[in-house]
Chain A
Amino acid sequence: MNPDTMNPDKRFVRESMIPPAPPPRRISGPLARIRATLFPDLANGLVTLAILAALVWLVPAAFRFLVVEAVWTGASGEACRPEVVGHPVGACWAFIGDKINYLAYGSYPTAERWRPNLFFGLLAFGVAWMLWLGAPKRTWGAVYLFLVVPVLAYVLLAGAPALGLVSVATALWGGLLVTVVVSGVGIVAALPLGILLALGRRSDWPVVRILCIGFIEFWRGVPLITVLFMANVMLPLFLPGDLTVDRLVRPLVGIALFASAYMAEVVRGGLQAIPAGQRQAALALGLTPFQATRAVVLPQALKIVVPGIVNTLIGLFKDTTLVAIVGLADFVRVLEAARADPRWSAPAVPVTAYVFAALFYFAVCFGMARYAGFIERRLAAGAVR
C-alpha cells in the first residue's frame, strides 16, 4: 500500500472539469499509415528522409552506370574511354564480353573447351537432381553426384590419352572452372569426412572421440590461409622420395580437411537433435548399432541439417577466393589479371571487373541462401504438422 494515499494532505480530488481533448488524429488510411510507420517522431523521420535521399541518388546513378552509359561493344579499352567516345562512360561490358572465355576457362586450350562445358553440364544435372526435393530416385542422385561426377570430371578435365582425350596441365586451368572445381572437391570430400568425424565425436571409444575432437577443433581454430600455406609448403615435405603433388591438388587437400571440420560440426548439430529414443527403439528392434546409425539416426539427422550444409557450401564458395593467394588462377585472380591487360586500360575497366565479380558471387551465394531458407521453412512446417 502506498503511504501517500493514506496521507490526507497528499490526497488529490479534482474539483473542475477537464477541458475536452481534440479528436484523435486519423489512424486509418494510407496517409495515416505512412505517418505512423515512417514519421512517428523526429529521429525516425530523419532516418526515413536520409534513406529516401540515398535511394533517389543511388538508384538512378546505378542504372546510369550499369545500363544507360555502359559500353556494350568494342574491341579494346579505347571504346571505354570517355575522351574517345565523347560522353561519360559507365560499365565497360565490352571488356567482360571480350574476356568471358578467359574468365570461364582460364588458359584451357580453346579446342578442348567442350570438356569443361560438358563437366559444367554434368555437374548442373547432378546438383538439380539433389536440390529438387520431388525428383525421382534421389539416392541415385547422391551416388551420381558424389561418385560418378568426380571420376568423370577428373577424366574429362585432366584428360586420358587412352580414351583420346589430350592431357591438359592443371596450370592451364583457370577462372570459373577452378572456382567450381575447388568448391566442388571441397564439398564432395567434406561431406562424407564430416559425417564420419561427427559420428566419431559422439563415439563411446575414448581414443576415437579425442582424435575426432582434436582434428575438428584444430582446423576450426586456424585461418584458411594458414591451411593453404601449410598444404603448399608442408605437404610435399611429408611425402616419400621424389613424389610431388600437383599445384592444384595441394590447396584442394587443405580445403577438404578444413571444410570437413566445419561440416562435422553441422552434422553433429543434426545428430544431437535426434531424440535418443530413436536409437534405443532401433536397438530394441534388433538392429545392430551400425544398422541403427545408418538406417535410423543418420537419415533423419542429415535431413534436418540440409540448410546448415548449404550454408557451409556458401562459406566454402566464398572461401575458394583465397586459393588465389597461393597462386591458383581462380575467378577473382583471373579477373584481376584480365583487368591489368594493357589493351583494356581504361578507367571504367577495374570498376566493371569488380561489379561483375560482385554480381556473380552475389547471385550464386544469395541463391543458395534462399534455397537453404526455403528448406528450413519446409522443415519447420513439417515439424508443426
Chain B
Amino acid sequence: MPDPRTPLRWRALAVQALLILALAALAYLAASNAAQKLARQGIVAGFGFLGRPAGFDIGQSLIPYAAATATYLDAFLVGLLNTLLVSGLAIGIATGLGFAVGIARRAENPLLRAFAAAYVELFRNLPLLLQLLVWYVAVRVALPPASDPAALGQAAFLSQRGLFLPRPDFWGSAAAVPLAFGIGLAAVWLLVQARGRAVALGKKPGPVLSLSALLCLGLPALAWIGLALAGHPVPVAWPVRGPYDIEGGLAVRPEFAALLIGLSTYSAAFIAEIVRAGLDSVAQGQREAAAALSLSRAQALRLVVLPQAMRVIVPPLTSQYLNITKNSSLAVLIGYPDLVHVFMGTVLNQTNQAVEVVSLTMAVYLTLSLVTALVMNRYNARVAGSRA
C-alpha cells in the first residue's frame, strides 16, 4: 500500500481550490448581473450618495437634524443612534426585570414561583412583532388625545403624541454638568476597586452604594447650581403648546415607549431563563453552607450563589444582548425611526442604492456582533482562568 497521505492531501487541495474557483465564479456572475441592471436603471454605484441632501424629516433624533440641510449620512447617524439608544435602555431594563423574574422562579414562595413561570411562558411564546403591535395600541389608548394633553404646570405634557419634557442644552459652559457626572462615575469606579481590596484584606467595606449614588447625582447637581450662581445658567428648552401640537423640549414618542416596553418585557423572559439555569448550576451545598454561616437567604443569594452563577449566566446573556440589538430593528413595524427604518426604509426607497444601503446596514450589526464576541471571549478567558 502506498503512503495514504500523499494522494489524499492532493485531493483535498484540489477540491478546496475548485470550491474557491466555483464561489469566485458565482460571485463574479452575480456582481456582473447586478452591475448590468444597475447601469440600466441609471444608478451610480458607490457611497457618494451619502453626501446628497436627504430632504425628509425624522420623528426623533439625538443629534441636531433638519430636513432642509441634512444629508443621507446624517440620516444614517440619526438612525444608528436611535438604534443604540433603544437597545441600550432595553438592555438595562430587561436585565433588571429578567434577573428579578429568574430569581423569583427559584423563590420559596410557590405563588411567586408560579407567577414568574407564567410570565416567562407567556412572553416567550408569543411573537415579538405581535407584542409590539399590542403595546403600541395599548400605549396610544392609555394616553390622553393630542388635543387635550395632560399637563404638569407648563413644564411637561403627556398626550398620544408623546411625553414632552424640558430639555437642558449641555453645550458651551453647561458642558460642566455632564463632565461632573463623568467625574462622579470615575470616582465610583475607584470606590468599587477600593471595596474589592478592602474585602480581600478582610476589612469591612464602607457604604459604597449610597456613596456612589451621592457622587453620581450630587456632583452634577453641584455643577448645575454653581453655573447658575456664576451667572451662566444651563439653558433649558421648555415644551410649548402650539396651535396643533406641543413644540420644543424633549419629546418621548409613543412609538419609542411601545418599542422599549415590548423589547424589554420580551427579552426579560429569555434572560429570566438564563438566570434560572445559572442559579441551578450552583451546587445546593453552597446555599446550605451559606445558611450554616447564618447568612440570610438574600445575603446567600447576593454574596454566594449569584457570583458563582454569573460564570454560567454571562455568555448566553451577552448573546441575548445582541438579540435585543437585532430585535430593535422591529421598530420599522410601529414607525420608530431606528437604523433599519430610516436607512433601509426611507433612504433605500429614495435612492434605490440597494447594494450600498443593505451592506452598510448589515455591516453595522455585524460590527456590533463582532465587538461583543471579542469582549466576550476575553471575559470568558478571564473567568476560565480564575476557575483553575
Binding site for B on A (CB under 8 A): 37-38, 40, 44, 47-48, 51-52, 204-208, 211, 217-218, 220-226, 229-230, 233-234, 236-241, 314, 318-319, 321-322, 324-325, 332, 336, 350, 354, 357-358, 361-362, 365-366, 369
CB-based contact A51/B111 at 8 Å: yes
B369, A221: Cβ atoms under 8 Å?
A: yes
Pick from B90-98, B123-131, B214-222, B229-237 the stretch touching chain A.
B123-131
Min CB gap B28→A, angstroms:
11
Using A237-B33, A354-B130 as known contacts, say yes or no to A361 and B361 having CB atoms under 8 A apart.
no
- The answer to whether B238 has its CB under 8 Å from any CB of chain A is no
Complex Cα distance, B134 from A381, in Å, reads 41
Interface residues of B in 106-120 (CB under 8 A from A): 108-112, 115
Cβ-defined partner of A354 (8 Å) among B122, B125, B133, B340:
B133
A62 shortest CB reach to chain B, Å: 12
Q: What's the Cα separation between A222 and B333 when bound, in Å?
A: 17
Taking CB atoms, residues of chain B closer than 8 Å to A324 are: 129, 333
Contact of B127 among A48, A52, A237, A321 (CB under 8 A): A321
Total A-B residue pairs with C-beta atoms closer than 8 Å?
135
Q: Is the pair A234, B358 in contact by a Cβ cutoff of 8 Å?
A: yes
Q: Of B19, B121, B125, B129, which is within 8 A of A322 by CB? A: B129
- Contacts A44-B108, A238-B30 given; indicate if A226 touches B129 (C-beta within 8 A): no
Q: Interface readout for B316-339 with A: 1 if CB under 8 Å, 0 if not?
A: 000000100011011011000000
Verify B340–A229 contact, CB threshold 8 A. yes
Does chain A have a CB within 8 A of B12?
Answer: yes
Write the nearest CB–CB distance from B154 to chain A, whole angstroms: 34
- Bound-state CA distance A225–B111 (Å) is 39
Least CB distance, B350 to chain A, in whole angstroms: 13
Q: Are A223 and B30 in touch, CB under 8 angstroms?
A: no
Closest to A221 in B: B369
Docked-complex contact A44 and B355, CB < 8 angstroms:
no
Contact-residue bracket for chain B: 35 or more
Q: Across the interface, which residues of A come within 8 angstroms of B34, CB to CB?
A: 234, 237-238
CB distance from A13 to the nearest CB of B (A): 24
Which residues of B lie under 8 Å from residue A361 when comparing CB positions?
125-127, 130
Residues on B lying within 8 angstroms of A by beta carbon are 12, 15-16, 19-20, 23, 29-30, 33-34, 37-38, 108-112, 115, 121-122, 124-130, 133-134, 137, 322, 326-327, 329-330, 332-333, 340, 344, 348, 354-355, 358, 361-362, 365-366, 368-370
Q: Is the CB of B354 within 8 A of A240?
A: no
Which residues does chain A contribute within 8 Å of B108, judged by CB atoms?
Answer: 37, 40, 44
Which residues of the other chain, A, contact B128 by a CB distance below 8 angstroms? Answer: 318
Chain A positions within 8 Å of B19 at CB level: 207-208, 211
The distance in angstroms between the C-alpha atoms of A350 and B366, with both chains bound, is 37
Contact between chains at B30 and A52 (CB < 8 Å): no
Which residues of the partner chain B approach A354 to less than 8 Å between Cβ atoms? Answer: 130, 133-134, 137
Contacts of A211 in B (CB 8 A): 19, 23
B366 near A222 with CB under 8 A, answer yes
Q: Are B33 and A239 in contact (CB under 8 A)?
A: yes
Among A47, A206, A238, A358, find the residue whose CB has the most chain B CB atoms closer than 10 A: A238
Give the complex CA separation of A218 and B362 in angstroms: 9
Q: Given the complex, which residues of A lie within 8 Å of B30, measured CB to CB?
A: 238
The 9 closest A-B pairs by CB, nearest first: A221-B369, A365-B125, A223-B326, A238-B30, A207-B16, A318-B127, A233-B354, A321-B129, A223-B329
Contact B125 A366 (CB under 8 A): yes
Once bound together, how far apart are the Cα atoms of A38 and B113, in whole Å?
A: 11
CB pair A325 B29 closer than 8 Å: no
List the A side residues contacting B15 at CB < 8 Å.
Answer: 205
Q: Which residues of chain B are near A225, meaning CB under 8 Å?
A: 329-330, 332, 340, 344
Q: Which residues of B contact A205 (CB under 8 A)?
A: 12, 15-16
Instruction: Name the contact of B340 in the complex, choosing from A38, A217, A226, A358 (C-beta under 8 A).
Output: A226
CB <8 Å contact, A362 and B16: no
Select which of B125, B127, B137, B344 is within 8 A of A226 by beta carbon. Answer: B344
B302 vs chain A, min Cβ distance (A)? 15
B45 to chain A, nearest CB (A): 11
Could you tell me if A47 and B109 are in contact, using CB atoms closer than 8 angstroms?
A: yes
Q: Shortest beta-carbon distance, A209 to chain B, in Å? A: 10
Pick 13 A–B contacts, CB within 8 A, sort by A: A38-B109, A218-B366, A221-B370, A222-B366, A222-B369, A223-B340, A225-B330, A226-B365, A234-B354, A234-B355, A238-B30, A325-B332, A361-B127
